[in-house]
A and B are shown apart, each in its own frame.
Chain A
Amino acid sequence: MSAPVLAVTGLEVRFGDVRVVRGVSYSVEAGEVLGVVGESGAGKSVTSLAVMGLLPRHARVAGSARLHGHELVGASDRELAAFRGKSISMVFQDPLSAMTPVYRVGDQIAEAVRVHQRVGRGRAAERAVELLDLVGIPHPRRRARAFPHEFSGGMRQRAMIAMAIANDPDVIICDEPTTALDVTIQAQVLEVLKKAQCETGAAIVLITHDLGVVAGFADRVLVMYAGLAVESGAVRDVFHRPRMPYTIGLLRSVPRVDTGKDVPLVPIEGGPPSPAALPPGCPFEPRCPVAIPECAAAEPALLPVAPGHHAACLRSREPGGPALAYDARESGGPALAYDAREPGGPALAYGGRETGGAVPASSPRPPRERRAVVLEVDDLVKHHPLTRGAVFRRRVGTVHAVDGIGFDIREGETLGLVGESGCGKTTALMEILELARPQRGRVAVFGRDTATLSPRERMAVRRDLQVVFQDPLASLDPRMTVHDIVAEPLTAHGGRDTGPRVRRLLGLVGLEESDAARHPRDFSGGQRQRVAIARALALEPRLLVLDEPVSALDTSVQAGVINLLEDLGRRLGLSYLFVAHDLAVVRHIADRVAVMYLGRIAEIGGTGLVYEAPAHPYTQALLSAVPIPDPGKERERRRILLEGDLPSPANPPSGCRFRTRCPKFRILADAARARCVQEEPEVRPLEGDHAVACHHAEEPGVV
């Protein structure tokens, strides 16, 4: 075993009296990838910033971080400057704010080179171009002269990696390098990181909350919770034989793209403790399902449980470990406990529904064709004009945000609308919610065409059609109490005496009555989203539109909200239009799924069919890019890497929009290609419910 490149021991960080990081130790060797995982607020980023010496002045750092034996903690800024960027470099989450907007990308990389190497200006510029080429930026010579805002998110992150490896560092710290990116771009960037590591032989510390990324990329993993390292070990050990209940909970709460509804998500109850008010014992004890009384007494130390595998749990040395206890407890499931406590369940509490009543969970649903259509969208189009000029506005182009999409949702059904950012899914959703005449095509809600609605009818439709937005903090008025927020739709539709109804609704989404008097900012993210769901349910709608409802939440909390939505949907007979970019979440909740690409639907069908046998090359690439939190599976998978970025919706390619990036297009014969270039594929049915917009869907693909 060679000497570690970076060794951190007993690192502590305090902000005033608050200990944010409380004695974290780890080490990385050359060529090794250490994954640091944990939820927001666990202290992952602060740890790495402390190593780089980049924390603000009022933070107090104790402990030791040695880079090749040189102590970094407490070193002066001048000493650190000799290391930073040279032997240790960093890749940040948001590449737009990590680059100076007023300098050309090439100049910024060249500057990073010249800070540490005595080379001429011309040589440094040459090196910058080489580095951009290395990270896979096309036309590097021309691109080096571009400004950061001219790069897409993925390209900026590549440029950041180029800058990080400019001086051949020994350690690269990556702080959530792919969190802000779409999955296909994430796959590209991770590939570049791998390549960069091969070139430099550097050790990588990869900080992320995405267990899938860690499973595919890291050699060892460190799980952090409340400023502590709670488990560490080789990736396979930690993922397959976790010994700390937090890790177990995290692994079970994350939705996976390779398993469907049959594997239920197990959320971790509660939320991470505030670093200012930690429990006296194990920080996870209040949320731990297998806690024993001793857990509350003292904080457990990180002790070895197997060779190279450490865990901080009193029960980790029991035969079978906490996982066994976990399973025993889960056999009834939280559902059982919940139902027992509240006879009749939330469905009863919801009650009072005059129109038809909720569908009982036990009765078998009639087949899809016999159920009523609640939302029908046909050839919906939304184009934004692109204008130029301040005085004389002239139209210079058209953004084809949504370009003729069609789908329908039947009663009690969930349709997942997925796609990468910029594919037009949110625009489509807004067009539907406006309930106005679309630019082209037809939207019919509950069988009524929105183009011919009178204001009174529109109001009646709004009653049955409600929406939940992505960021609950933004969608709840900060100046109103929870009671006023939840009561707002009721009063808008002429309800009086809202008190009892609001209390029932809060109970329905798992909040307490006393929460009604509080303001949104007093809640955690998951609770806020529950308030937003309660508000959406206030009028007993039949169709709920959800715009990325869980993507702003932490993994363990996400599972709770997904389960709540699933349960409410079943008990109350709701239909959902679920818009998301996370394919794993959609697989969990949706009955049918529609994949969008550049304003068009690429593929639509039953969730099982689309995920198991994707027919469109884009769906195939998308699915292969989603990381699975299982090191075994993740490393064996073949990944289809898409080239380049999403084309601009102002100037979509002729014919099939996907052909510029399509892996199948490249292996087709010329005659077949011509069809892709000239003719735009229509969505055509394959078998049963499954439809696809590809001329060559039946031919054997590249996967």
Chain B
Amino acid sequence: MLTPPREETAGVRAAPGRVRVPSRGRVVAARFFGTRQGRLGFGLLASMFLLAFAGPLLGRWSATELDFSAFMRPPSADHWFGTLQTGSDVFAVTLRGARRSLLVGLLVAVLSTGVAAVAGSFAGYYLGWTDRTLMWVADLLLVLPAFLILAIMSPLFTGGRWLLFVIMMALFLWMVTSKIVRGMTRAIKEREYVTAARFMGVPSSAIIFRHVIPNLASLLIVDATLNVSAAILTETSLSYFGFGIQPPDVSLGGLIADGARTALYAPWTFWFAAGALIVVILAVNLIGDSLRDAFDPGARRGP
């Protein structure tokens, strides 16, 4: 004797026949692009990237060229965003700065959140020696004066070695998040679906990447979003003192620091760089919000 095949017809049933089951990535992508917010954020960030990398082809001036006939001129047909005191074209310089800042901000955020997620979840899942070692490293990094170390190391970042700078920044950003992740992992470890997976014979590392980290997605995405801004701003303040991205590279932070001095009587030197920074951070936040909703099957679906 067997039971009824159905109990309830909740929700909309798909047409009978072969049903394709989309992978988790597809589902998230579909839900992400299903919201207006997600599309807007992605569009903004994509156009910023496009502008930063393809923009110099449009402009008449390159970032290193100096126009000796125009110092501190407001925007004109010749110089779209005006010129600096040195005669550099603001449009070209801003795009160049945006290029570096975008890469630095996003890479630092992804790297530091990734390290935080992996270190925190491994510490929280395995506990014991893994936990003690990882948390000892985190504590050590927390007490080191990050700003000072970055400042001392700044001579190393010259000559296009900005990737080293990215790694060093990420190294000083992950600790607090990893402690939160560790705590949440300990809670998730007690959940029955983790126990069930364990009794099914799923290896621990697979459990961490399949069950623990996706269930922390909300926290991690918010963290990554905040880290983008934090990275760009840290870089800005380092640049302000001359320790960040080293010449001949420029970053938005450096430009804003320079422009801030002349902002009152020559606003174009400041506002275009600041505007670019605002657009980038806004886009990242929009993307973060939509991604968080897309990862959570319980969130309200977009129109």
Contact = CB atoms under 8 A, between A and B. Distances in A.
Contact of A264 (B1, B22, B297, B298): B1
B28 to A, nearest CB: 10
A183 to B, nearest CB: 25
Contacts of A471: 192
B200 A469 contact: no
A462 B11 contact: no
B195 interface: yes
Contacts of A566: 1
Interface stretch (B128-136, B161-169, B201-209): B201-209
A521 B202 CA distance: 23
Interface stretch (B12-20, B58-66, B80-88, B107-115): B12-20
Interface stretch (B2-10, B37-45, B69-77, B171-179): B2-10
Interface in A367-423: none
Nearest to A468: B196
Interface stretch (B116-124, B139-147, B211-219, B248-256): B211-219
Given A560-B7, A564-B2, A492 B200 contact: yes
B4 A270 contact: yes
Contact of A481 (B1, B15, B27, B217): B27
Interface string A499-523: 1001000000011111011110111
Given A333-B1, A462-B201, A469-B196, A524 B21 contact: no
Indicate the size class of the contact surface on chain A: 35 or more
Indicate the size class of the contact surface on chain B: 35 or more
B295 A517 contact: no
Given A462-B201, A523-B10, A476 B193 contact: yes
A527 B206 contact: no
B65 to A, nearest CB: 52
Nearest to A435: B199
A220 interface: no
Contact of B199 (A433, A510, A526, A527): A433
A479 B217 contact: yes
A493 B197 CA distance: 12
Contacts of A483: 21
Contacts of B214: 477, 479-480
B217 to A, nearest CB: 7
Contacts of A462: 199-201
B2 A516 contact: no
A459 interface: yes
A463 B203 CA distance: 13
A516 B21 contact: yes
Contacts of B217: 479
Interface stretch (A90-98, A149-157, A334-342, A610-618): A334-342
Given A334-B2, A469-B195, A471-B192, A478 B10 contact: no
A621 interface: no
| Binding site secondary structure of chain B | loop
A466 B199 contact: yes
A484 interface: yes
Contacts of B203: 492
A469 to B, nearest CB: 5
Nearest to B6: A270
Nearest to A499: B21
B196 A338 contact: no
B261 interface: no
Contacts of B296: 479
B38 to A, nearest CB: 18
Contacts of B7: 269-271, 524, 526-527, 557, 560
Given A476-B193, A479-B217, A519 B4 contact: no
B24 interface: yes
A433 B195 CA distance: 10
Contacts of B295: 479
Contact of A339 (B2, B191, B192): B2
Interface in B83-112: none
A269 B19 CA distance: 24
B297 A519 contact: yes
A513 B214 CA distance: 25
Most B Cβ at <10 Å: residue of A492, A526, A527? A492
Interface string B210-248: 110011010000000000000000000000000000000
Contact of B196 (A465, A475, A564): A475
Contacts of A535: 196, 200
A488 B202 contact: yes
Interface string A253-296: 00000000000100101110010000000000000000000000
A580 interface: no
B24 to A, nearest CB: 7
B19 A514 contact: yes
A514 to B, nearest CB: 4
Interface of A: 264, 267, 269-271, 274, 333-335, 338-339, 345-346, 433, 458-459, 462-463, 465-467, 469, 471, 474-481, 483-484, 488-489, 492-493, 499, 502, 510-514, 516-519, 521-524, 526-527, 532, 535, 539, 557, 559-561, 563-564, 566-567
17 contacts: A264-B1, A267-B4, A270-B6, A335-B1, A459-B201, A462-B201, A475-B192, A475-B193, A478-B297, A479-B217, A481-B22, A510-B6, A512-B13, A514-B14, A514-B19, A527-B7, A535-B196
Interface of B: 1-11, 13-16, 18-22, 24, 27, 191-193, 195-197, 199-203, 206, 210-211, 214-215, 217, 295-298
7 shortest interchain CB distances as A-B pairs: A335-B1, A271-B8, A462-B201, A269-B4, A475-B192, A483-B21, A510-B5
